[in-house]
Amino acid sequence: MKLVIAFTAAALMLGPVVSASSASQTPPAAPTSPAVPAGVIQAGPEQAAPIAPKVSIAISQPGFSPTPASESPTMDFQLSAAPGELVAGWQLDIYRIGNERESSISGRGAPPAILSWDGKENDGTPSPQGRYVAVLSADFGSSGRNIHAQSSPFVLDRSVPTGKILFSTERFSPMEGVKGPPLIVTIEGTSTVAKLDSWDVTVYDPGAVPFAQFSGRWPNNTIAWDGRGSSGDLVESAQDYYFVAKIRDAFGNVGEARGRLTTGIVLLKGNSRYRIGISSIIFKPDTANYTEVSTAQRIRNLETLRLLAKKLREFPGFTISIEGHAVLTNWNNKAAAEREQKYSLVPLSKARAEAIKWALVKEYGFDAKLLKTAGLGAKDPVVPNSDLKNRWKNRRVEIYLEKDPIESGGS
């Protein structure tokens, strides 16, 4: 058992105070001499009335959780025995209701103002989950009084909340510039002892970087998300975003729930054209081959192409421009960067754009004459290539959809 003592008053939100005074004890014998007896304060030439000894104990909260992840790992008791100058000693005993004493501590003189219990027995063994009370005893010495006070019952809770994260759709495809239905994220939680209190959710992008954050208190447990991160960026197409929820109960226990959201094809609307950015098609290193990769990644690449073709069919008569982009590795050396761009990145990104084009033509029947390609290499990065955590966003294929000006009535 670890009991932490504080001898200065602290601002606590205290539970009910239970106290006892000398009125419930056998009164001391009447004084037999004119000397000032114990419990009496001398005030000038006349004697004041005896001060009745009083003991009280209050709890800081109705329960606590002495676990490593808890935000409330101790139970704090506010102790009082007055008048303090008459107290010869004190003892605090903690009992599990219906069982024997779990823990005890004592001291000389008046008790400390605040004492904290870490939920362990005297030998350091963790006390079991259950309902407890604490009893403060004070020995008022020569007055012959031993007065007790009992706290309100409180709960020691070692259980951790559990939960799960649910999404309103299997694939989320927000569209920039067009207001569509948000993604509804539901955080479900269960607590066996304490009531659920609050939650927070962090969304991580494919690079494991925090993308968005949310928080709330029960019973409100849903998020309506438009797909934008904390910086205002929209989610990427055909990527996995990971949700991690921290679920807290009223006693400070913290549980965790996880979920994975896969995005569909995300369309960004400009003034005269639409843009689709895809960074999830993984190619064999230094090639334009997207099938000679791991089995899981090959399946993922083919599914992304299927989704892309399905989205493009929603825009008949549009010309489609496919641009390949790459990551510049020699970003800190100008001469080396120029060579890398000219001889490696431009031809490689062009070849990869061509690979996407011919997949659409051969597998999905698109008209090759409506598909244009370009290789930009590292010319137009989304983030600085020096940003090692986020530069994966630069390795991408961008697709632009434009309506033929003649067909659209333009000149």
Q: Are residues 299 and 399 in the same domain?
A: yes
What is the pLDDT, as a whole number, of residue 47? 56
Q: Are residues 253 and 398 in the same domain?
A: no
The parent domain of residue 8 ranges over: 3-24+51-156
Same domain, 219 and 249: yes
pLDDT at 101: 86
Please tell me which residue, 370 or 408, carries the higher pLDDT value.
370
DSSP state of 341: I
> Can you give the pTM of this predicted structure?
0.73
Peptide bond into 384 cis (omega under 30): no
CATH label of the domain that carries residue 279: 3.30.1330.60
Scanning the structure block, which residue is given the tokens 């000894």? 53
pLDDT at 168: 96
How many domains in the chain? 3
CA-CA distances (angstroms) from residue 133 to 79, 102, 229?
14, 10, 48
Average pLDDT over residues 224-229: 94
Q: What local confidence, expressed as pLDDT, does residue 409 receive?
A: 46
Evaluate if residue 227 carries a pLDDT over 60.
yes
| Residue 37 in domain | no
- Do 353 and 288 touch, CB atoms closer than 8 A? no
pLDDT at 175: 83
- CA–CA distances in Å: residue 52 to residues 22, 41, 92: 6, 11, 21
What integer pLDDT is reported at residue 48 of this predicted model?
57
> Chain-centre distance of CA 91, in angstroms?
40
| pLDDT at site 1 | 54
Residue 17: which pLDDT band, with cuts at 50, 70 and 90? very low
Which amino acid makes up residue 35?
A: A
Between CA 67 and CA 127 the distance in angstroms is: 11
